[in-house]
Chain A
Amino acid sequence: MSSAPKLSTVPRREVSLLVIDDNPASVELVSAAVAQSGLEVLTASDPEEGLDLFRKWRPQIVLTDMVMPRLTGMEVLERIMEVDPATDVILMSAHYSTESAVEAVRKGASDYLNKPVSIGPLRERIAGLVEEVRKRQRSLQLEDELRTNSEFEGIVGRSPQMWAMFWRIRRVAPHYRSLLITGETGTGKDLVARALHRLSPVAAGRYVVLNCSAVVETLFESELFGHVKGSFTGAANDKPGLFEYAHGGTLFLDEIGDMPLATQAKLLRVLQSQEVQRVGSLTARKVDVRVVAATNHDLRTAVAEKRFREDLYYRLSMVEVETPRLADRKEDLPLLQRHFVARFAAQYGKAIRGITHRAQIRLSQHSWPGNVRELENVIGHAAMMATTDMVDAQDLPRYLHAPEHAAEQTAAARPAGGTLAEVERAHIIRVLQETGGVVSAAAIRLDVPRTTLNALMRRLRISRDDL
């Protein structure tokens, strides 16, 4: 990941307020209420004129009457929400009804007042909103500053867990020969591996990646150690393996838990002797390679079940770096959100400023089983869907619209039935929705290897469009 893209920062400005009311007495009352506050006040006696002023000056607070010629206050609210859903809109009506208050809240109003409005409470109400707007401005600015100070080699975070991890990476990077990164899927193990390489003395050397779950078992050894011509069917030429290719650099073995046992034995020998032997060759070649392995499985269990060699496990885990789950560092959410919003805004060429409070609440309530990768997918989706310069709740993927417990309730209430394939398909789609489309996280939840889940998805014709 490259360094953080620059945010198109919003110019700092004073708080301004717009009053729209066809009754001059009402406009005067509001102006009088805020006279002492140092607020910039804009007034309009006509809704269309008010909307023009809004588009031009973008006040953070709008007070509008409900009943006006040509456009109702509800319509004014709708138009404003289309332009900037972060605006605080207060509706005022002489004909208060709870039903219309519900409609106003649904459409994004922050308050609904009963006319006649008396000056004292109105002053208090506005003062409260202004304080909130100022707080939001301050925190946006702070987040911006923090964001630039909260990156370590492309990894974003400032929670204690992340600081501890950064510290550990800095400490071990100059010295390790082999190292194990553990952590759930989507927690950024690949970024940690890259950081270790960049901070190591061999940073100028090659950084070579092999995903062990993507290699056909029979080709594993040839891939890692190379082969000589004729050593097996199809070996038409001499070929160096990744160890030789990474000589003088770093070899990153992702998903090491998926490496076959026979290959594990040979890997251990290479780590011990610093020598590789191409398949079919009798001579050994010296290699100088740092090995970083990563896994999202509990290797100790794999050792107990004889699926992973104990001696290799101890060799690798002498130095271990653990990547924290997103659920354990939710204080990093705002920072990560800003990071991804900035990135996707740049990627899609959209001027997106941030995420509305409503949407942030939804994000903070999710349990993030797919970790940062899931968040990245979610923000990418939302940034694509956003129609204004703020990401709002309805831009988020559908599975985040309702609180999680509600989703569980509907799932439990769903009647059983259908063919096995239908039930399987529906279940896989639901789990994928819950993991934000992160297949490896879904595979863990479903307790099947990722390759199996991929095959199932192909067979049941599950694609991104189903999520």
Chain B
Amino acid sequence: MKKVLVADDKAAGRELIRTVLEQCGHSVFEAGDGAEAVRKAREILPDLILLDLHMPVLDGFAAFQELRGDERFAATPIVALTASAMQGDRELAMSAGFTGYLAKPISLNVLRSEIDRLLEQETADVVRP
């Protein structure tokens, strides 16, 4: 069972991801904004982090910088949640260094397989101190 942190200011969006990932057997933690995401990440040390790009207090990009600056998350996969209506978000996310992105509305199957792929990679490639 892996720990996944989902940061999104919309409760329904977090709920959807939680429901899908819990069915796959993962445990899901939620944050409502970028600052809360950083705080929770430090507390629970998740195996995977999903960040919505547009959030209050600290947006996804800023939260991403903060997390990558912390050596404990140097190798943690961090995925951007982008609104497909916002052209260019995807490119921005990839150039900022996000591990991947998921376009909203999220395809459940893509979500499942992407998460499985990233979590498997994580156990295979990353040796934690």
Contact = CB atoms under 8 A, between A and B. Distances in A.
A111 B1 contact: no
B25 A98 contact: no
A164 interface: no
A451 interface: no
Nearest to A125: B109
Given A96-B105, A102-B15, A110-B109, 17 more contacts: A97-B12, A98-B12, A98-B15, A98-B105, A99-B12, A110-B108, A111-B109, A112-B108, A113-B107, A125-B107, A128-B113, A358-B23, A361-B23, A362-B25, A364-B25, A365-B25, A405-B1
A467 B16 CA distance: 32
Interface string A109-134: 11111100000000001001100000
Residue in A96, A97, A98 whose Cβ sees the most chain B Cβ within 10 Å: A98
Nearest to B23: A358
Contact of A128 (B24, B27, B109): B109
Contacts of B113: 128
A334 B108 CA distance: 26
Contacts, number: 53
A403 interface: yes
Interface residues of B, number: 17
B10 interface: yes
A306 interface: no
Nearest to A98: B12
B27 A405 contact: yes
Contacts of B108: 101, 105, 109-112
Nearest to A364: B25
Given A98-B15, A98-B16, A403 B1 contact: yes
Residue in B12, B15, B27, B108 whose Cβ sees the most chain A Cβ within 10 Å: B108
B103 to A, nearest CB: 10
A358 to B, nearest CB: 6
A125 to B, nearest CB: 6
A106 interface: yes
16 contacts: A98-B15, A98-B16, A101-B108, A102-B12, A105-B20, A105-B23, A110-B108, A111-B108, A112-B105, A125-B107, A358-B23, A361-B23, A361-B24, A361-B25, A362-B25, A406-B27
B13 interface: yes
A112 B110 CA distance: 11
Interface residues of A, number: 25
Q: Which 9 A-B pairs have the closest CB atoms?
A: A98-B12, A361-B25, A105-B19, A111-B109, A111-B108, A102-B16, A102-B15, A114-B105, A98-B16
Nearest to A405: B27
Nearest to B109: A111
A393 B24 CA distance: 12
Contacts of A405: 1, 27
A105 B1 contact: no
A334 to B, nearest CB: 15
A128 B108 CA distance: 13
Nearest to B10: A98
A466 B12 CA distance: 36
Residue in A102, A110, A403 whose Cβ sees the most chain B Cβ within 10 Å: A102
Interface in A393-410: 403, 405-406
A101 B16 CA distance: 7
A125 B13 CA distance: 22
Contact of A111 (B10, B16, B27, B107): B107
A114 B113 CA distance: 19
